[in-house]
Structure 1
Amino acid sequence: MRRNSLRLRLVAGGIVAIMIALAIAGGALVVVFERHVSRTLAQDLDVHLKQLLANIDVDPQGKLVLTHALVDPRFADPLSGLYWQVGDDHGQSLRSRSLWDSVIELPADRLSLGETHQHEASGPGGQRVLVAERAITLSADGKPVTVRFAVAEDLARVSEASSAFAKDLSIALVLLGCVLALATWIQVGVGLRPLVALRCGVADIRAGRTRYLPSSVPTEVRPLVEEVNALIDGQEHEIERSRGRAADLAHGLKTPLAALAADASRLRERGERDIARDIEAVGEAMGRHVDRELARARVRGRARGGSATSATVKPLVGSIVATLSRTPEGAKVRFENRVANDLCVSLDRSDLAEVLGNLIENAARHAAGCVRITTDENRPSLVVEDDGDGIEPAQLLRVLERGTRLDERGGAGLGLAIVQDVLDAYEWELELSKSRLGGLKATIAPRSAVPKRPNPSAKETVASSISPQRA
């Protein structure tokens, strides 16, 4: 995906949001788990404290004694992490074997009788332990003795449990993040599918397969579709008005040009041949310009009008050849119509006639004796070639310039300009190259069927991407 891709932005934003949410959720779960373990630890200490209270007594001599060992074996394991100690107000004390020679440093606070306190303290080896302690009064030989009971457990258990939980949780969150990222990718793809449909709709409009974008789109996209369709309507109306004005202008020039031709004929009859020839040359050039504008005005609407068009090629070529054979230049050459009988192309018949008429007329003008119309076997195309002198490779680029002619046989040099205008409207292209007959080979084909040449030289085929416009 490209850096400015909307899909990339949405997916990246979704993944970032997922990572932030999972990180916050993971941290919160670890805190909740740690609190849960701490509460469980406190409850266990309370149970141990009650067992200790039940098994401590004062003998007749006033000494503290442990009547029964506590159940949990960790109390007998040195530095096991679970400890107890008992002391009275006369300085006597008892400790679990797990404390070994250490003492739990209890805070110097006063405990209310029967009340349990829980707090952190320093245990053996500098361990941080959670302590549960309670003070009660026992009777020794009829005298009351205040005894302080304390049970402690190493808090490393909480840290270890939290670390293990965090490790397991991180693996689960990574897997969950991957699943959510995939779901985000799918969701973004589904969400952007209407935009893909719009792109295809615009491509159909450009190709002439339809005139408007489809209206069956999601509610959020419908305003955009309506605006685009309204824009297309406005452009169609503006193009239609422009075509009409161009056609009116071109038709309006026809009558003055006819009058100019008549004046040139009268001057020729009077003997003013040079002036008549100059006027006829100017009139012919203006006529070619008018013809070109008429062709452009006609083809703009038809190629983009949305209706499917096609034309059978061979009968049309036969009609053009029959017409050109009656002209002085066409009568001197032999036309070979080798187009397949059933060949059809996706161009309007009149537009195709405009293209082939110009190409075949040019070929007849420059041919020595033969003009051949055929197709390319390797791709859908039409080929017009002649056996004339052809064009030098160095001149191919020049002949593709607007109004340029390499001979002096008259004309305004706009034949190929008209051809290219028609082909552009249908997304076709024109190629000029050397013919096997010896002359020029002109090939027209759909733009998608034209092979790409990375570094064409002057001796190779020159494609119409250089704006081919010549006589």
Structure 2
Amino acid sequence: MNQHSLKLRLVAGGIVAILIALAVAGGALVVAFERHVSRTLAQDLDIHLKQLLAGIDVDPQGKLVLMHTPVDPRFAEPLSGLYWQVDDDRGQLLRSRSLWDSAMKLPIDRLGPGETHQHEATGPGEQRVLVAERAVTLAMDGKPVIVRIAVAEDLARVSTASLAFAKDLALALVLLGCVLAAATWIQVSVGLRPLVALRRGVADIRAGRSRHLPSSVPAEVHPLVEEVNALVDAQEGEIERSRGRAADLAHGLKTPLAALAADASRLRERGEHEIARDIEAVGEGMARHVDRELARARVRGRARGAPAASTSVSPLVGSIIATLSRTPDGGRVRFENLVADDLRVRLDRTDLAEVLGNLIENAARHAAGRVRVTADHDRPSLAIEDDGEGIEPNQLARVIERGARLDERGGAAGLGLAIVQDVLDAYGWKLELSMSELGGLKAAIAPRFALLSHCSPSKETMPSSA
């Protein structure tokens, strides 16, 4: 995908936003989980603390005794991570078996009656533990004694649970991210689909398959469609005006050219052959340019209008051959129409007749006695060949240059190669010149895309004649 693609930018932006959102959500969930585990741990410690408070007492000798210990078996397992400790201000100390031979280093704290304090401290083996403690006052030998009761649990439980939760959460977030990325791709693709339709609409306008963009588009792109359609209408209007001016100019020159030809004829009758020949050459060149501009104006109008109807090739070639057979050049050659009867092309019949007529006429003018018209269905293309002298291979490039003529060796005026190229360019076709197997020149016209098709002959086509 192109790095300047709007779709790529939208998808990349969406994925970046998804990654940021998932990272923030993941961190927040891990923190929330740690707080939840810490609260659960604190609640468990409070339960153990209440059990100790219910079992603490003083024996007749004034010693602290624990009538019953908490039921959690971890208190009896050495260094299990769950500990309790009871001491008083006279130095007496009771502790769980899990503490073994050590004691918890509790911070100096002033506890009020009935208050429960929680804080972190250092436990056995330098463990970080969460401590919950309370202070009670007991009577010993008639004197009040403050007893400090503490329960602690290793905080590694919180870290272990948080790490396990983070691993499970990471896997879930990765799967969620993939789903959201795919959803973003689909959303962007669906959202940009109207732009794809607009691109196809513009391509249809350029190809002559449509005159305007479709108006059934989302509201966000509807103003763009209206502006493009207005631009197309304005451009078509300008083209129409330009065609009109070109046609007016060309038709305006017809009469002066006819007068010029008449003057040349009178000069020739008076014996001024050289001057008459020069005037006729100038008039012929001007006539060619006029015919070319008329053809270009007509072809431009068709290319911007409705699509050209398909034309049956074989009957048209037969009609051209029948016409040329009545001319001096056509009467001395044998024409071969080898085009299949069911072959049709997407060109207007008049424009195709101008192209084929010009090429076949030039082939007849230069042929020694044979002109062949064939269709190559593999490329596909149409080819006009003759058995004349042909053109030197090193001259083919010069002949096909814009403005050159196929009939440079003859004296008759025709459309010329420039008009042929203009017509073909308007329909997306191309002209290729090469040496023919017959010995002369081969002029092949072929669409840049596959525009030839086989179908039943149209009722509108003329029968082939040779």
With structure 2 as the length reference, what TM-score do the two structures score?
Answer: 0.93
Cα–Cα, structure 1 residues 413 and 64, in superposed 2: closer, same or farther, change >3 Å? farther
Does structure 1 retain, via aligned residues, the 8 Å contact 2:373–2:384?
yes
Secondary structure, counterpart of 1:375 in structure 2:
strand
Does structure 2 retain, via aligned residues, the 8 Å contact 1:85–1:96?
yes
The match for 1:159 is 159
Distance in 2, Cα, partners of 1:310 & 1:404: 29
What is the deviation of 1:434? Answer: 1.8
Distance in 1, Cα, partners of 2:432 & 2:450: 12
Does structure 1 retain, via aligned residues, the 8 Å contact 2:403–2:417?
no
The within-5 A match list for 1:16-415 is 16-404=16-404, 407-410=408-411, 415=416
CA offsets 1:19-64 (integer angstroms, 9 cap, x no match): 0000000000000000000000000000010111112211111111
The match for 2:431 is 430
**Structure 1 runs not aligned, ≥5 long:** 451-471
Secondary structure, counterpart of 1:448 in structure 2:
coil
Distance in 2, Cα, partners of 1:177 & 1:117: 43
Distance in 1, Cα, partners of 2:115 & 2:313: 108
Distance in 2, Cα, partners of 1:240 & 1:261: 31
- Paired AA for residue 397 in structure 2: L
Secondary structure, counterpart of 1:404 in structure 2:
coil
Cα–Cα, structure 1 residues 331 and 145, in superposed 2: closer, same or farther, change >3 Å? same
Q: Aligned residues: percent identity? A: 81
What is the deviation of 1:412? Answer: 7.3
Cα–Cα, structure 1 residues 380 and 18, in superposed 2: closer, same or farther, change >3 Å? same
CA offsets 1:172-221 (integer angstroms, 9 cap, x no match): 00000001111111111111111111111112212221111111111111
Does structure 2 retain, via aligned residues, the 8 Å contact 1:317–1:337?
yes
What is the deviation of 1:288? Answer: 0.7
**Bigger mean CA deviation after superposition, 171-180 or 116-125:** 116-125
Distance in 2, Cα, partners of 1:243 & 1:252: 14
The within-5 A match list for 1:8-19 is 8-19=8-19
- Paired AA for residue 136 in structure 1: V
Distance in 1, Cα, partners of 2:286 & 2:317: 27
The match for 1:465 is none
Length, aligned pairs only? 450
Distance in 1, Cα, partners of 2:328 & 2:37: 108
The match for 2:462 is none
Does structure 2 retain, via aligned residues, the 8 Å contact 1:120–1:131?
yes
- Paired AA for residue 268 in structure 1: R
CA offsets 1:391-431 (integer angstroms, 9 cap, x no match): 22211111111333585424679612111111111111112
Does structure 1 retain, via aligned residues, the 8 Å contact 2:51–2:69?
no
CA offsets 1:101-123 (integer angstroms, 9 cap, x no match): 22212121210011100111111
CA offsets 1:430-464 (integer angstroms, 9 cap, x no match): 121221111111111221149xxxxxxxxxxxxxx
CA offsets 1:226-249 (integer angstroms, 9 cap, x no match): 111111101110110011111111
Secondary structure, counterpart of 2:196 in structure 1:
helix
- Paired AA for residue 419 in structure 1: V
**Structure 2 runs not aligned, ≥5 long:** 452-466
What is the deviation of 1:280? Answer: 0.5
CA offsets 1:370-403 (integer angstroms, 9 cap, x no match): 1111211324432111111122221111111133
Does structure 1 retain, via aligned residues, the 8 Å contact 2:391–2:441?
yes
Does structure 2 retain, via aligned residues, the 8 Å contact 1:333–1:371?
yes
**Bigger mean CA deviation after superposition, 177-186 or 134-143:** 134-143
- Paired AA for residue 211 in structure 1: R
What is the deviation of 1:308? Answer: 4.1
Does structure 2 retain, via aligned residues, the 8 Å contact 1:205–1:306?
no
- Paired AA for residue 207 in structure 2: A
What is the deviation of 1:366? Answer: 1.2
Distance in 2, Cα, partners of 1:277 & 1:373: 34
Distance in 2, Cα, partners of 1:218 & 1:377: 44
Does structure 2 retain, via aligned residues, the 8 Å contact 1:58–1:65?
yes
Does structure 2 retain, via aligned residues, the 8 Å contact 1:402–1:413?
no
What is the deviation of 1:362? Answer: 1.4
Secondary structure, counterpart of 1:139 in structure 2:
strand
Distance in 1, Cα, partners of 2:102 & 2:166: 33
Distance in 2, Cα, partners of 1:328 & 1:257: 25
- Paired AA for residue 243 in structure 1: R
Does structure 2 retain, via aligned residues, the 8 Å contact 1:281–1:410?
no
- Paired AA for residue 421 in structure 1: D
The match for 2:446 is 445
Distance in 2, Cα, partners of 1:90 & 1:414: 126
- Paired AA for residue 30 in structure 1: V
**Bigger mean CA deviation after superposition, 391-400 or 303-312:** 303-312
Does structure 1 retain, via aligned residues, the 8 Å contact 2:103–2:123?
yes
CA offsets 1:80-129 (integer angstroms, 9 cap, x no match): 11111111111111111111222212121210011100111111122111
Counterpart check, 1:6 vs 2:2: no
What is the deviation of 1:325? Answer: 2.3
- Paired AA for residue 415 in structure 1: G
Distance in 1, Cα, partners of 2:404 & 2:212: 40
What is the deviation of 1:290? Answer: 0.8
Does structure 2 retain, via aligned residues, the 8 Å contact 1:76–1:97?
yes
Distance in 1, Cα, partners of 2:51 & 2:8: 64
Secondary structure, counterpart of 1:309 in structure 2:
coil
Cα–Cα, structure 1 residues 411 and 62, in superposed 2: closer, same or farther, change >3 Å? farther
Distance in 2, Cα, partners of 1:154 & 1:254: 109
Does structure 2 retain, via aligned residues, the 8 Å contact 1:194–1:218?
yes
Secondary structure, counterpart of 1:329 in structure 2:
helix
Distance in 2, Cα, partners of 1:94 & 1:10: 67
